[in-house]
């Protein structure tokens, strides 16, 4: 090991020393299992740790009680590490159990690994700050506590408020199956409530007097389903009937509500598709003589890859080598894989762009190949909005058994495992090292910013959420 405090070996040693505390923090957040915009205990636990590390805390960022910023250091560049910590509904599962066993039926679970995501990003930020301090190097490190990635677009509301405007670059990761750069073109989206108001009536005695809001929802859905043939092939429509108008079939339903998630590869396309879905709703309201109210819940932009930073991160991951797992890790992964179908495993391997032969592995002790070419990833993330504001780079971690699908009880079961922690530490090293590269190499940062300017055409960020739409917690407060 060289004496240079910015040496990768020195950084790794410093991070490993702090690692157990952040693994424990990830487990604590897993235990809380809090849903979007309600992650109060998770936020308190993170702030307590960051204050102990000497970070300056800004609470209630963008007016959101579960959004915060922690900062340390001084001068430029300013590097931000993005953290998430929200769980998913209905995915309760015992940790470490390779068979489905909810802790409490219908309760929440960390089915996307956000307990690891926030703790790992914090660990990277703290380690980067410590390494800069040891070297006497100027630079500012920030950790952003970002709520409600799952269905809330917390970062989009934060971006609209200018929270990321003075960042020179942003770094994040996502727990997964394979370690490597996460370079993907995601789907922009709009999430929208369509509410219909009709007139109640006795369904047998005076049906002619009723105007069914539930009929309107069903007709709207039929129109949207016919629309699928005539929209971009990579676009997606999903919906859930959130209010069917009651449980009495002999009463014409006077109120009904459906929530749509409308996705397309570019935010402009998603906005156009939203307008077309809205016309389906308006047509349904006309046909049923009901009143229609439309409420945008949230939206997010597609991710803009930054190949300059991605190649730098890939080089750091290559130098680190893949994470290593022991026999107990492999045995637990094998037990999880017994609950998965061949199609589950094949789909997971394809999603990460891993070689087909990787499907035979229990845990991935290899690095994803990367040649600088982004892949299409048919999900959405509010990281996309940050990527329109500042050069942004992401990696995946190897935290789960090969083949584990996102948003499943199998992912929840592995969320506190030793293998999950090992993958988290590995990703934190890659993030911290990349952040330090950006600070130390002005040319790297200049090229990253030029790539962002080229990808945006020099146009400023335009938030897809209209200015009159506030985040759900603030929306509830004003009703």
Mean pLDDT, to the nearest integer, of 258-286? 98
pLDDT above 70 coverage of the chain, percent: 98
Residue 157 has pLDDT above 80, yes or no: yes
Give every CB contact of residue 315 below 8 A, 6+ residues apart in sequence: none
pLDDT at position 479 is 53
Whether the domain at 8-185+302-456 and the domain at 188-299 fall into the same CATH topology: no
- Split at pLDDT 50, 70, 90, the class of 3 is very low
Average pLDDT, the chain: 96
Looking at domain 8-185+302-456, its CATH superfamily turns out to be Zn peptidases (3.40.630.10)
Q: For residues 63 and 146, give the distance between their C-alpha atoms in angstroms, rounded to a whole number.
A: 12
pLDDT at position 474 is 83
Pairing of strands 375-376, 139-145: unpaired
Secondary structure class of 238 (helix, strand, coil): strand
pLDDT at position 13 is 95
pLDDT at position 477 is 59
Mean pLDDT, to the nearest integer, of 253-278? 98
Query: pTM for the whole thing?
Result: 0.95
Q: For residues 207 and 193, give the distance between their C-alpha atoms in angstroms, rounded to a whole number.
A: 27
Domain ranges in the chain?
8-185+302-456, 188-299
Helix crossing, 8-32 with 40-52: angle to 10°? 150
Q: For residues 198 and 175, give the distance between their C-alpha atoms in angstroms, rounded to a whole number.
A: 46
Residue 421 has pLDDT above 90, yes or no: yes
> Per-residue pLDDT tens for 180-238?
999 988 999 999 999 999 999 999 999 999 999 999 999 999 999 999 999 999 999 99
Q: For residues 325 and 322, give the distance between their C-alpha atoms in angstroms, rounded to a whole number.
A: 10
pLDDT at position 1 is 30
> Per-residue pLDDT tens for 119-134?
999 999 999 999 999 9
- Going 142 to 27 to 130 to 174, the CA torsion angle's sign is negative
pLDDT above 90 coverage of the chain, percent: 95
Please count the CA atoms within 13 angstroms of the CA of 180 that sit on its side-chain side. 20
Give every CB contact of residue 265 below 8 A, 6+ residues apart in sequence: 185, 187, 188, 232, 234, 235, 302, 376
Q: 77 preceded by cis ω (within 30°)?
A: yes
- Domain spanning 188-299 has what CATH number? 3.30.70.360
Q: Is 380 exposed, middle or buried (0-12, 13-18, 19+ CB in 10 A)?
A: buried
């Amino acid at each position: 090991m060289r004496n240079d405090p910015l040496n990768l070996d020195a950084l790794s040693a410093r991070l490993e020393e702090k690692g157990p505390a952040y693994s424990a923090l990830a487990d604590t957040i897993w235990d809380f299992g809090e849903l979007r915009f309600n992650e109060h205990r998770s936020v308190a636990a993170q702030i307590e740790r960051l204050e102990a590390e000497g970070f300056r805390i800004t609470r209630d960022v963008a007016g959101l009680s579960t959004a915060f910023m922690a900062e340390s250091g001084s001068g430029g560049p300013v590097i931000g590490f993005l953290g998430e910590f929200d769980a998913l509904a209905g995915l309760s599962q015992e940790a470490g159990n390779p068979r489905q066993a909810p802790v409490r039926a219908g309760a929440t679970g960390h089915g996307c690994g956000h307990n690891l995501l926030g703790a790992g990003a914090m660990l990277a930020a703290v380690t980067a700050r410590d390494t800069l301090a040891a070297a006497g190097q100027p630079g500012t490190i920030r950790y952003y506590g970002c709520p409600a990635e799952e269905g809330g677009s917390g970062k989009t509301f934060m971006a609209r408020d200018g929270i990321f405007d003075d960042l020179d670059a942003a770094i994040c990761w996502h727990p997964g199956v394979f370690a490597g750069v996460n370079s993907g073109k995601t789907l922009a989206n709009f999430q929208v409530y369509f509410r219909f108001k009709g007139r109640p009536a006795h369904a047998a005695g005076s049906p002619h007097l009723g105007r069914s809001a539930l009929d309107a929802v069903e007709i709207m859905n039929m129109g949207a389903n016919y629309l699928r043939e005539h929209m971009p092939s990579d676009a997606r429509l999903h919906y859930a009937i959130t209010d069917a108008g009651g449980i009495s079939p002999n009463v014409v339903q006077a109120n009904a509500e459906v929530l749509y998630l409308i996705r397309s590869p570019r935010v402009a396309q998603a906005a156009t598709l939203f307008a077309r879905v809205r016309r389906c709703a308006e047509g349904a309201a006309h046909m049923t003589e009901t009143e229609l109210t439309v409420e945008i819940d949230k939206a997010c932009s597609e991710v803009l890859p930054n190949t300059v930073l991605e190649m730098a991160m890939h080089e750091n991951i290559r130098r680190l080598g893949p994470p290593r797992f022991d026999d107990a890790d492999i045995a637990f992964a094998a037990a999880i894989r017994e609950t998965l179908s061949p199609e589950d495993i094949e789909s997971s391997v394809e999603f990460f762009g891993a070689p087909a032969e990787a499907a035979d592995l229990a845990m991935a002790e290899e690095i994803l190949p990367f040649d600088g070419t982004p892949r299409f990833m048919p999900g959405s993330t509010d990281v996309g909005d940050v990527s329109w504001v500042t050069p942004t780079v992401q990696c995946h971690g190897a935290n789960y058994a090969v083949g584990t699908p996102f948003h499943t009880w199998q992912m929840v079961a592995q969320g506190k495992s030793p293998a999950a922690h090992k993958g988290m530490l590995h990703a934190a090293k890659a993030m911290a090292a990349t952040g330090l590269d950006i600070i130390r190499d002005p040319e790297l940062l200049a090229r990253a910013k030029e790539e962002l300017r080229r990808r945006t055409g020099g146009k400023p960020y335009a938030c897809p959420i209209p200015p009159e739409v506030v985040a759900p917690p603030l929306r509830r407060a004003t009703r």
